[in-house]
């Protein structure tokens, strides 16, 4: 995980660029560098993952061109060999050193050729132009805003631009920016085809493509760890696949409340089954309340679901950082958006299920992906998300939605069926119903947050507090608390987030006032 900034004009000095970098210090604590271009600045802070010595430090330069990138390029060794055959030479073991040769060879078409999680800012020295781009899912963050003195400012996190830009906006995933215009180069949520594969073929492809996605994300020169968290299907599958591929014990981590850590036992069973070196982190109500302002400041969101789910993840990552040398964490995010949540059991038709999935995948960068990135990078580690693999996402999104809807009383049936014969996990994990992570940490955690919020506002203070926000006004004391905390750190920037993450209220059974799956009638005993 690294920090990048790009200032397209020299209206600000080197020290201001460095200060902008330092606001996201935890993303890149190893080294910092600011490079001058003919018309502006590029800045980089490094967390060393690939090519650990100083030769992997950015910006990389090729003639008059320079680039800074926060990202991982998969399959880069093959691409590097191809570029070497074309006469390019490389100094470092960093995957990102390929970017400028690729730009020379393919121009702006290079982005469609990348199998990567990335955000980059490239300076074309010959044209004196800047190019910025972000991966199609938005796994790596990038924000931008107008400099009041002229030009555009780009940065990894919104907090770097607070006070520098009147309006801060997320850079749209799957786009590049060139000469003041955004161009979409990829949208895996809408792959443009619908496959007629039968169920056996679909499950085999899901199986093979997920294994390939995990495999490519095990390539790191820094130590790896795995978030097992709630012991649910998604994180457990990632851990089990990785353990089999590596052929040695992996390090797994789960977290729970001290009073009712519902799912620690499932995480423990999964870890024991795969032979993992497993660590449990136990937290208290006081830990949760004390962490809340830090979590909101790190996330840059006011969304209820994202904040709830982030508290446990943030504290788990804190413990990992303080007690281990791990620098890369694999996680189980994005499976829900592809295969369904508890509430998508209420989808009125396969077409409605598909439309909801498309919406959720396109908005991932504001919710689950944002959560994983900030909770992990906030403790100087890098997140890798196998379920966000482009080939995997594009395939699942192209599968006939009639196969993806819950027709047999078991959510994510295709994913479970795909791995039923591998013996990667015990059946009680593979076929266990989902519990939301924020609930799985312990139902008491969400209850504690609600109780704490209720104590902060009288009836009158609540009414007045909600009324002051015109954009996406809060509707509970908990949501007002989160919005007030957000405005403390990101004043006037609420439009960075599109809306509250909620079940589709237009569907029968989903018109609820709380985003937790516990509010749905089909939640049942899935958390116990």
CA distances from 448 to 263, 282, 284, 331, 438 (A): 18, 15, 10, 26, 12
Distance CA 394, CA 356 (A): 15
Conformational region of residue 177, where left means phi above 0, alpha means psi within -120 to 50, and beta covers everything else: beta
Please state, in angstroms and rounded to a whole number, the distance separating the CA atoms of residues 21 and 15.
10
Q: Can 8 be counted among the known catalytic residues?
A: no
Does the annotation mark 239 as catalytic? no
Q: How many CA atoms within 13 Å lie on the side-chain side of 499?
A: 8
In our burial notation (b when 16+ CB lie closer than 10 A, e otherwise), range 108-144 reads eebbeebebbbbbbbbbeeeeebbbbbbbbbbbbbbb
DSSP secondary structure letters along 365-399: GGTHHHHHHHHHHTTT-EEE-GGG-HHHHHHHHHB
* Residue 493 to residue 498: CA distance in whole angstroms: 11
Return the residue matching tokens 């009639």. 402
Considering the candidates 2, 98, 99, 239, report the single residue annotated as catalytic.
2
Q: Cβ(263)–Cβ(271) under 8 Å?
A: no
308 noted as active-site residue = yes
The residue whose two tokens read 């909770």 is 375
Q: Name the active-site residue from 21, 42, 47, 99.
A: 47
Q: What is the DSSP letter of 156?
A: S
Give the gyration radius of the chain's Cα atoms: 22
Q: Is 165 a catalytic residue?
A: no
Q: Is the dihedral of CA 105, 110, 114, 117 positive or negative?
A: positive
Q: How far apart are CA 197 and CA 203, in angstroms?
A: 10
- Of the candidates 252, 279, 305, 504, the residue annotated as catalytic is 305
The count of other CB atoms within 10 Å of the CB of residue 523 is 18
Cis link prior to 59 (omega < 30° from 0)? yes
The catalytic position among 43, 56, 71, 231 is 71
Q: Which distant-in-sequence residues (6+ apart) come within 8 Å of 360 by Cβ?
A: 336, 337
- Is 71 one of the catalytic residues? yes
* Residue showing tokens 């820094």: 222
Length of the chain: 528
Distance CA 2, CA 57 (A): 11
Q: Which of 45, 251, 308, 483 is catalytic?
A: 308
305 is catalytic: yes
Q: Where on the phi/psi map is residue 184: left (φ > 0), alpha (ψ -120 to 50), or beta? A: beta
The H or E element containing residue 134 is: strand 129-134
Q: Which two tokens stand for residue 203?
A: 């499950």
What is the spatial distance between Cα 164 and Cα 21, in angstroms, rounded to a whole number? 13
- Using the structure block, give the residue that is written with the tokens 């786009």: 175
Max Cα distance, the chain (Å): 71
Q: What number of other Cβ atoms are within 10 A of residue 513's Cβ?
A: 9
Which of 26, 70, 252, 301 is the catalytic position? 70
- Which residues are annotated as catalytic? 2, 47, 70-71, 305, 308
């Amino acid at each position: 995980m690294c920090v990048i900034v790009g200032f397209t004009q020299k209206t600000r000095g080197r020290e201001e660029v460095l200060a902008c970098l330092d606001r996201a210090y935890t993303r890149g604590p190893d080294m910092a560098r600011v490079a001058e271009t003919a018309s502006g600045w590029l800045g980089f802070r490094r967390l060393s993952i690939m090519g650990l010595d100083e030769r992997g430090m950015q910006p990389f330069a090729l003639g008059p061109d320079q680039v800074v990138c926060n990202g991982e390029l998969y399959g880069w060794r093959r691409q590097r060999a191809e570029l070497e055959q074309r006469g390019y030479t490389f100094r470092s073991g960093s995957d990102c050193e390929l970017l400028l040769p690729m730009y020379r060879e393919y121009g702006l078409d290079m982005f469609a050729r990348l199998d990567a999680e990335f955000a980059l800012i490239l300076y074309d020295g010959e044209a004196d132009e800047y190019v910025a781009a972000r991966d199609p899912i938005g796994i790596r963050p990038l924000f931008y805003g107008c400099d009041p003195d002229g030009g555009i400012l780009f940065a990894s996190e919104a907090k770097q631009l607070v006070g520098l830009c009147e309006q801060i906006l997320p850079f749209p995933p799957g786009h590049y920016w060139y000469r003041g215009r955004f161009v979409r180069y990829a949208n895996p949520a809408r792959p443009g085809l619908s496959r007629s594969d039968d169920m056996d073929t679909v499950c085999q492809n899901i199986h093979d493509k997920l294994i390939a996605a995990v495999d490519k994300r095990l390539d790191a020169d820094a130590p790896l760890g795995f978030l097992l968290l709630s012991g649910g299907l998604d994180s457990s599958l990632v851990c089990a696949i990785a353990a089999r591929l590596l052929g040695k014990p992996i390090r797994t981590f789960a977290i729970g409340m001290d009073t009712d850590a519902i799912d620690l036992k499932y995480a423990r069973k999964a870890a024991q089954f795969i032979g993992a070196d497993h660590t449990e982190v136990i937290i208290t109500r006081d830990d949760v309340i004390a962490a809340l302002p830090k979590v909101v400041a790190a996330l840059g969101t006011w969304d209820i679901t994202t904040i709830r789910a982030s508290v446990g993840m943030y504290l788990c990552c804190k413990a990992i950082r303080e007690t281990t040398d791990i620098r890369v964490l694999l996680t189980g995010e994005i499976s829900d958006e592809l295969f369904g949540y508890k509430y998508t059991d209420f989808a009125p038709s396969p077409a409605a299920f598909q439309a909801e999935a498309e919406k959720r995948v396109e908005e991932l960068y504001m919710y689950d992906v944002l959560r994983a990135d900030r909770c992990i990078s906030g403790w100087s580690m890098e997140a890798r998300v196998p379920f966000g693999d482009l080939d995997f996402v594009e395939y699942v999104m192209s599968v006939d939605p009639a196969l993806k809807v819950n027709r047999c009383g078991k959510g994510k049936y295709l994913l479970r069926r795909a791995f039923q014969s591998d013996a990667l996990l015990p059946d009680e994990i593979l076929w266990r119903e989902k519990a939301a992570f924020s609930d799985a940490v312990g139902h008491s955690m969400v209850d504690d947050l609600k109780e704490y919020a209720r104590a902060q506002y009288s009836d009158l203070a609540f009414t007045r507090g909600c009324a002051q926000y015109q954009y996406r006004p809060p509707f509970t004391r908990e949501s007002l608390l989160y919005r007030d905390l957000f405005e403390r750190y990101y004043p006037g920037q609420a439009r960075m987030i599109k809306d509250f993450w909620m079940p589709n209220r237009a569907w029968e059974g989903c018109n609820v006032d709380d985003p937790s799956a516990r509010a749905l009638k089909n939640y049942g005993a899935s958390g116990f």
